[in-house]
């Protein structure tokens, strides 16, 4: 009798677990897969979820007669976790599109999964140009920016201003290597020289020994091929060790407004950076950013603005093509230019990169700033073709020839 | 438990496993099977030899990396990939074992932990592992050149077969003469030595077997997810397998399997809630150590098996009051310290021989 | 001279600078392994929660500053005491229950405790660091010629040396220390002499935890206050303790500083190996002297 009871109990558990996996086919789900709790949480994170929800609400909340729902998860900067979540989302949870995807190693892993399942992903967080190079996939869009644009933007500007010898402090994973690679190519093409580099594990707290190496190299420019919390720590600790006082300059190759806000103008003034979005650029950006600020209390980064823009265009594509099929949506998005408050003169390329205008900014000095988020001074607008000019040539097999 | 009952239960469970992918997400099941094999391999060492290894992730993870590299970069078929992974894990087991077997108890745990951390750092730095990116896009290939493992169901049955093979090896080992010697060593090591058994050699063999099977689990996992990453060699994974075994029931045959599925289900279900997984795992650890040391299977078994005796699930000989030195209930401190001194005394007799 | 090794001899300034950075790391290794050694020596428990307690010390300092406006100097006392009290409660509630069992259970219990503590902090504060500013009196750097040494980092080395040597002196040369050492050898006999051994044990655990918390406060301005700051450090500290000898106080201190220096040296010549060199040394020591460099041959 007991054994029957135990057997029945176990069977009930099995069935319950099975039921829990059932799909709800009447919603279209869009997934925001981001770093919610670690060093990149401020540049995407919960803010991206807010942006995605804003896009859905502004679109009307439904598409093709079905409700549109946002789901989100924290990939913790681990590619295997990200890939698992993406696979489960696509297989059993009815998610049709994944966005944000900060952290290049995660984005690459998820892109693999998306390729297998032919689903659309729109990457606004990750930077590595490999996403549209060696690892390009037909249903992936590299939306907001990439290391090519950063290299051509910040890298080009710094080397042309006289910074000829470079030493890189590089985050030791796909993004850092990609950024170092692309920037080195630009530096060398402009007559500069890379004298050394050092690889640093992701999310390192103490940069002292790496900064000492950079100091000993006597390079004019110390290129920070890292982002988020890593960049903040590098810059702060460089100040402690008297690096800038000693005559070397820092080049923050990827800076977000959240980083500059965290560093403060006193420490960050004079740094140059490339971005595809700034809240105070013109009336359109100001209008949208105000809505975002009212919800979150912070001005949006280009990743978060990108999530809104990408989600909106995705929903429009669904409506226009009357389909949720990945390749169909991509074809539609490739067929016409993309223009909105964030993306200007955007053209979706066969390799997946969304070529659009970028901007070169300089961080203001405390004296010039009139508010807690009045942080940037516009130096130049970089037209899309110039920003996305590939230093190594086209690497995507599908797009070559 | 009667022989016939054992076979009935085994058949029922295998039958359940055969139809499960039609009800549950197959990738989840495969993950559960891999971790179950990992936990069983770990329990071989803990439950039957009495050694708590806190670095077992090194074996699983290194096999995952090797198999991934071999299948992706060298293009070998999956069966050879798995073989390579297991071989490397076994070799690592020999090295770890040789260094760690000399010590016991906590020392053994700490040494395995530190050695595993060395492997983890190597995985971070070595060029072929891809560091933070891991090895991605590992092809599943064609088993023996004919069976396409790309189909999820096919892969599931392959994983199931490998799991049964691994589990069978463990079961066979436990019930063999070798297994009897191991149990004897665990019950009363000085007596086993006095009977002439080369105790270190037996322990090392058990250790290597455990490492090799953990490697098998890792190789399978790499092919299931087509991915090898730093999480596989991280010490938190070593901690997870301890938890699985503890929750399921140390020293029982089904305990690690039950524990593995519970923890994997919890990981997947709670993945979206941020750090609550870690917190809950920690609480389960504490609760298990304080009040639930026999684990689920250890507690349930008497009900299923019938009144005839609970399986021997006390993790460490201290609890059974056997060869070890802790007797009844004297003052706490004297046990804690006197016991340790005398145990160390045993160890010193051993090393001075 | 070293060219046959195909190793480039770095410029002397970098060499000494990295050694100094290594010494700073070594200060933390020494403080933390000291706490572990004390706890292990008397309780025979491997306190896996040591890293989490180190983290709590840093967070305590952060809370004191950001919630109560209490600065660094008072925090150096308040944080260790607070976290030490938490440690005492832990010992009373949890560790005492399993003291009669095999010591491996203690390892597992403290491991679970570490997971819970870390998980809770991570849930609330994420896993990247919170900033904690260097106190004004210790700001700036002094130009040593071969490098700019930030004054705060110099202070860390000095403070750590003082605390380590002070603790060693207290244990090896004072009467209280004598009681502690005696209780380690033969607790029931010491109890028969009228000394309240259980209370001593509780206070000892609290003291070990307080040492970890002190290290956390010292670390807050340099390493950023992060929920994960202890978890990576703790395993290196375990290796240090194994090298020094599990119950040896002096072994812990010397090994801590020495291994920090060796790590710094490795960063100069072969940076990729700097993470693994301590474990490689541990493997070597285990082969040659299994009880550790200063351990008693048990």
Can you spell out the DSSP letters for A350-376? TTSBEE--EEEEEEPPGGG--STT--E
A135 shares its domain with A84: yes
- CB burial of residue B79 (10 Å; 0-12, 13-18, 19+): middle
Domain that holds residue B161: 25-233
- Picking from C276, C285, C196, A386, the residue whose alpha carbon sits closest to that of residue B107 is C285
Work out how many domains chain B is built from and give that number.
Answer: 1
User: CA of C244, closest CA in chain B: separation in Å?
Assistant: 13
Terminal CA-CA length for chain C: 43
A373 shares its domain with A323: no
By Cβ distance, the residue of C104, C115, C279 closest to B118 is C279
Domain that holds residue A221: 148-275+358-380
CB-based contact C229 A205, cutoff 8 Å = yes
Tokens representing A196?
A: 């050394």
Q: Once rounded to an integer, what is the mean pLDDT over residues C199-221?
A: 92
Q: Which residues in chain B are contacts of C276 at CB distance < 8 A?
A: 118, 121-122, 125
CB-based contact C18 A212, cutoff 8 Å = yes
Question: Residue B316 — pLDDT band, cuts 50, 70, 90?
Answer: very low
Cβ contacts of A242 within 8 Å, gap of 6 or more: C141, C143, C148
Instruction: Lowest mean pLDDT of A389-398, B74-83, B318-327, name the range.
Output: B318-327
Domain that holds residue C46: 26-137+147-228
Specify the DSSP element, H or E, that contains C172. helix C151-173
Q: How far is CA B105 from the centre of its chain?
A: 17
Cα gap A300→A294, rounded to integer Å: 11
Q: How far is CA B93 from the centre of its chain?
A: 13
- Picking from A241, A166, A243, A253, the residue whose alpha carbon sits closest to that of residue A208 is A241
State whether residue A118 sits within 8 Å of chain C by CB: no
B134-148: burial string, b at 16+ Cβ within 10 Å, e else: bbbbbbbbebeeebe
Cα gap C113→C47, rounded to integer Å: 10
Question: From A175, which residue of chain B is nearest by alpha-carbon distance?
Answer: B133
User: Would you say residue A16 lies in a domain?
Assistant: no
Cβ contacts of A169 within 8 Å, gap of 6 or more: A197, A198, A200, A207, A210, A211, A214, A222, A223, A224, A225, A226, A234
Instruction: Lowest mean pLDDT of A333-337, B5-9, B34-38, B232-236, name the range.
Output: B5-9
A228 shares its domain with A366: yes
Q: Enter the pTM of the model.
A: 0.85
User: CA of B133, closest CA in chain A: separation in Å?
Assistant: 5
A187 shares its domain with A244: yes
User: Would you say residue A333 lies in a domain?
Assistant: yes
A266 shares its domain with A318: no
Question: Which of A77, A168, A205 to mutate against chain C (most C CBs within 10 Å)?
Answer: A205
State whether residue B235 sits within 8 Å of chain C by CB: yes
Cα gap B79→B88, rounded to integer Å: 14
User: Would you say residue B4 lies in a domain?
Assistant: no
- Is the pLDDT at B220 greater than 90? The verdict is yes
Question: From A6, which residue of chain B is nearest by alpha-carbon distance?
Answer: B304
Question: Residue B275 — pLDDT band, cuts 50, 70, 90?
Answer: confident
A366 shares its domain with A230: yes
A172 shares its domain with A204: yes
pLDDT of residue A15: 55
- Picking from C31, C287, C274, the residue whose alpha carbon sits closest to that of residue C167 is C31
Cα gap A200→A252, rounded to integer Å: 15
Residue A64 backbone phi and psi in degrees, to 5: 55, 35
pLDDT of residue A224: 95
Tokens representing B41?
A: 């391999």
How much is the mean pLDDT over chain B? 82
Q: How many residues does chain A have?
A: 401
Beta strands in C191-288 (DSSP E): none
Pairs of residues, one from chain A and one from chain C, whose beta carbons lie less than 8 Å apart: 64
Specify the DSSP element, H or E, that contains A251. strand A249-252
Q: Once rounded to an integer, what is the mean pLDDT over residues C13-29?
A: 87
Alpha-helical segments (H) within chain B: 3-19, 26-43, 57-72, 78-100, 105-125, 152-174, 177-187, 189-194, 199-225, 235-248, 255-270, 276-291, 295-305, 317-320, 332-333, 340-351
Q: Residue ranges of chain A with pLDDT lower than 50? A: 19, 22-24
CATH number of the domain within which A248 lies: 3.40.50.2300
ipTM for the assembly: 0.85
By Cβ distance, the residue of C188, C197, C238 closest to B114 is C238
User: Would you say residue C190 lies in a domain?
Assistant: yes
User: Would you say residue C206 lies in a domain?
Assistant: yes
- Is the pLDDT at B43 greater than 90? The verdict is yes
Question: Which of A75, A216, A231, A239 to mutate against chain C (most C CBs within 10 Å)?
Answer: A216
Residue A200 backbone phi and psi in degrees, to 5: -120, 135
User: Would you say residue C294 lies in a domain?
Assistant: no
CB A309 within 8 A of CB A143: yes
Question: From A7, which residue of chain B is nearest by alpha-carbon distance?
Answer: B304
Q: Which residues in chain A are contacts of B227 at CB distance < 8 A?
A: 79-80, 83, 109
Q: How many CB atoms lie within 10 A of CB A48?
A: 33
User: Would you say residue C18 lies in a domain?
Assistant: no
Specify the DSSP element, H or E, that contains C214. helix C197-223
A198 shares its domain with A271: yes
A152 shares its domain with A258: yes
pLDDT of residue A8: 54
Question: From C148, which residue of chain A is nearest by alpha-carbon distance?
Answer: A241
Work out how many domains chain C is built from and give that number.
Answer: 1
User: Would you say residue A56 lies in a domain?
Assistant: yes
User: Would you say residue B228 lies in a domain?
Assistant: yes
User: Would you say residue A334 lies in a domain?
Assistant: yes
Question: Which of A42, A240, A242, A261 to mutate against chain C (most C CBs within 10 Å)?
Answer: A240
Block residue for tokens 């540049």: A43
Most confident by average pLDDT, A116-120, B127-131, C195-199: A116-120
Q: How many CB atoms lie within 10 A of CB A61?
A: 12
A218 shares its domain with A307: no
Cα gap C205→C45, rounded to integer Å: 10
pLDDT of residue A185: 94
Tokens representing A154?
A: 């910040």
Question: From C17, which residue of chain A is nearest by alpha-carbon distance?
Answer: A212
CB-based contact C21 A213, cutoff 8 Å = no
Question: Which of B8, B121, B132 to mutate against chain A (most A CBs within 10 Å)?
Answer: B132
Higher pLDDT, B182 or C142: B182
Tokens representing B37?
A: 């094999």
User: Would you say residue A129 lies in a domain?
Assistant: yes
pLDDT of residue C186: 78
Sort strands A376-382 and A358-363 into parallel, antiparallel or unpaired: antiparallel
Beta strands in A36-185 (DSSP E): 62-63, 66-74, 95-100, 120-123, 140-142, 165-171
User: Would you say residue B344 lies in a domain?
Assistant: no
Q: Which of residues 243-282 of B touch C (CB under 8 A)?
A: 246, 274-279, 281-282
Sort strands A120-123 and A95-100 into parallel, antiparallel or unpaired: parallel
CB-based contact C128 A246, cutoff 8 Å = no
Specify the DSSP element, H or E, that contains A30. strand A27-34
User: Would you say residue C255 lies in a domain?
Assistant: no
Cα gap B317→C296, rounded to integer Å: 25
- CB burial of residue A62 (10 Å; 0-12, 13-18, 19+): middle
Q: Which of residues 21-80 of C touch B (CB under 8 A)?
A: 43-44, 46
Higher pLDDT, B343 or A222: A222
Block residue for tokens 């990576």: C232
Cβ contacts of C9 within 8 Å, gap of 6 or more: C1, C2, C3
Work out how many domains chain A is built from and give that number.
Answer: 2
CB A274 within 8 A of CB A360: yes
- Phi-psi region at A361: left, alpha or beta (left = phi > 0; alpha = psi -120 to 50): beta
CB-based contact A83 B225, cutoff 8 Å = yes
Q: Once rounded to an integer, what is the mean pLDDT over residues C20-49?
A: 89
Question: Residue B306 — pLDDT band, cuts 50, 70, 90?
Answer: low
State whether residue C277 sits within 8 Å of chain B by CB: no
Higher pLDDT, B105 or B305: B105
A87 shares its domain with A119: yes
């Amino acid at each position: 009798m007991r054994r029957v009871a135990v057997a029945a109990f176990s069977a009930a558990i099995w069935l319950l677990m099975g039921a829990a996996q059932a799909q709800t086919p009447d919603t279209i789900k869009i997934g925001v897969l981001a770093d919610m709790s670690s060093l990149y949480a401020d540049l995407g994170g919960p803010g991206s979820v807010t942006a995605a929800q804003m896009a859905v609400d502004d679109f009307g909340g439904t598409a093709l007669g079905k409700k549109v729902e946002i789901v989100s998860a924290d990939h913790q900067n681990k590619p295997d976790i990200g890939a698992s979540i993406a696979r489960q989302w696509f297989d059993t949870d009815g998610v049709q599109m994944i966005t944000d995807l900060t952290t290049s190693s995660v984005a690459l892993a998820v892109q693999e999964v998306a390729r297998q399942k032919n689903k659309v992903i729109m990457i606004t967080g990750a930077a590595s140009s490999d996403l549209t190079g060696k690892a390009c996939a037909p249903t992936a869009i590299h939306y907001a920016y990439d290391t090519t644009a950063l290299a051509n933007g910040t890298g080009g500007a710094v080397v042309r201003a006289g910074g000829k010898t470079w030493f890189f402090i590089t985050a030791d994973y796909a993004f850092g290597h990609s950024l170092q690679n692309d920037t080195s190519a630009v530096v060398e093409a402009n007559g500069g020289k890379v004298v050394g580099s050092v690889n640093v594990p992701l999310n390192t707290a103490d940069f002292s020994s790496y900064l000492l190496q950079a100091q000993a190299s006597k390079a004019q420019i110390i290129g920070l091929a890292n982002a988020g919390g890593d960049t903040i720590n590098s810059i702060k600790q460089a100040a402690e060790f008297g690096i800038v006082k000693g005559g070397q300059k820092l080049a923050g190759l990827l800076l977000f407004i959240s980083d500059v806000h965290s560093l403060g103008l006193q420490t960050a003034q004079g740094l140059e950076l490339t971005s595809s979005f700034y809240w105070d650029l013109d009336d359109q950006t100001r209008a949208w950013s105000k809505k975002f600020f009212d919800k979150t209390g912070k001005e949006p980064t280009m990743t978060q603005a990108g999530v809104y823009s990408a989600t909106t265009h995705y929903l429009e594509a669904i409506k226009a093509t009357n389909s949720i099929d990945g390749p169909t949506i991509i074809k539609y998005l490739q067929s016409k230019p993309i223009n909105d408050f964030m993306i200007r003169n955007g053209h979706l390329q066969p390799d997946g990169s969304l070529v659009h205008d970028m901007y070169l900014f300089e961080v203001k000095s405390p004296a010039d700033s009139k508010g807690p988020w009045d942080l940037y001074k516009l130096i130049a607008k970089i037209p899309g073709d110039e920003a996305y000019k590939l230093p190594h040539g086209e690497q995507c097999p599908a797009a070559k020839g | 438990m009667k022989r016939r009952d054992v076979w009935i239960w085994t058949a029922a469970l295998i039958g359940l496993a055969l139809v499960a992918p039609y009800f549950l997400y197959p990738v989840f099941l495969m993950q559960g099977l891999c971790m179950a094999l990992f936990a069983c391999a770990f329990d071989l060492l803990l439950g039957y030899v009495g050694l708590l290894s806190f670095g077992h992730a090194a074996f699983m993870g290194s096999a995952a990396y090797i198999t991934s590299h071999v299948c992706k970069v060298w293009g070998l078929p999956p069966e050879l990939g798995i073989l390579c992974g297991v071989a490397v894990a076994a070799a690592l087991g020999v090295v770890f074992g040789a260094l760690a077997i000399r010590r016991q108890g906590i020392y053994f745990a700490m040494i395995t932990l530190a050695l595993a951390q060395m492997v983890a750092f190597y995985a971070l730095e070595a060029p072929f592992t891809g560091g933070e990116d891991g090895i991605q896009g590992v092809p599943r290939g064609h088993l023996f050149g004919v069976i396409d493992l790309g189909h999820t169901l096919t892969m599931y049955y392959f994983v199931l077969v490998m799991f049964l093979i691994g589990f069978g090896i463990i079961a066979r080992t436990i019930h063999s003469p070798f297994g009897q010697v191991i149990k004897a060593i665990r019950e009363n090591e000085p007596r086993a030595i006095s009977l002439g058994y080369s105790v270190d050699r037996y322990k090392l063999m058990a250790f290597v077997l455990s490492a090799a099977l953990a490697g098998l689990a890792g190789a399978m996992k790499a092919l299931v997810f087509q991915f090898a990453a730093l999480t596989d060699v991280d010490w938190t994974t070593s901690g997870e397998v301890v938890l699985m075994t503890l929750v399921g029931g140390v020293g029982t045959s089904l305990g690690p399997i039950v524990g593995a599925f519970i923890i994997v289900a919890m990981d997947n279900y709670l993945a979206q809630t941020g750090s609550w997984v870690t917190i809950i795992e920690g609480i389960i650890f504490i609760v298990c150590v304080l009040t639930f040391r026999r684990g689920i299977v250890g507690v349930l078994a008497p009900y299923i098996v019938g009144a005839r005796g609970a399986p021997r699930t006390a993790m460490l000989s201290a609890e059974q009051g056997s060869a070890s030195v802790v007797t009844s209930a004297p003052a706490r401190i004297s046990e804690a310290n006197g016991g340790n001194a005398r145990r160390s005394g045993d160890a010193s007799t051993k090393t001075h021989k | 001279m070293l060219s046959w090794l195909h190793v480039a001899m770095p410029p002397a300034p970098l060499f000494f600078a990295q050694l100094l950075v290594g010494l700073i790391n070594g200060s933390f290794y020494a403080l933390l392994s000291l706490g572990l050694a004390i706890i292990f020596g008397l309780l025979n428990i491997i306190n896996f929660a040591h890293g989490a307690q180190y983290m709590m010390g840093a967070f305590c300092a952060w809370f004191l500053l950001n919630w109560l406006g209490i600065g660094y100097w008072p925090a150096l006392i308040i944080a260790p005491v607070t976290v030490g009290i938490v440690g005492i409660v832990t010992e009373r509630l949890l560790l005492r229950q399993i003291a009669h069992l095999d010591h491996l259970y203690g390892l597992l219990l403290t491991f679970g405790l570490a997971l819970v503590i870390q998980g809770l902090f991570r849930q609330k504060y994420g896993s990247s660091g919170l900033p904690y500013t260097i106190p004004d009196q210790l700001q700036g750097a002094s130009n040593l010629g071969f490098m700019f040494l930030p004054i705060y980092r110099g202070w860390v080395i000095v403070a750590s040396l003082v605390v380590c040597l002070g603790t060693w002196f207290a244990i090896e040369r004072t009467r209280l220390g004598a009681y502690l050492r005696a209780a380690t050898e033969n607790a029931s006999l010491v109890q028969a002499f009228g000394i309240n051994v259980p209370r001593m044990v509780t206070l000892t655990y609290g003291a070990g935890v307080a040492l970890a918390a002190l290290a956390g406060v010292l670390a807050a301005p340099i390493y950023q206050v992060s929920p994960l700051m202890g978890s990576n450090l703790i395993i290196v500290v375990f290796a240090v303790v194994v090298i020094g000898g599990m119950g040896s106080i002096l072994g812990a201190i010397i090994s801590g500083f020495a291994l920090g220096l060796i790590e710094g040296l490795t960063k100069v010549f072969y940076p990729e190996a700097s993470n693994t060199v301590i474990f490689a040394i541990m493997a070597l020591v285990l082969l040659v002297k299994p009880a550790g460099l200063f351990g008693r041959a048990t």
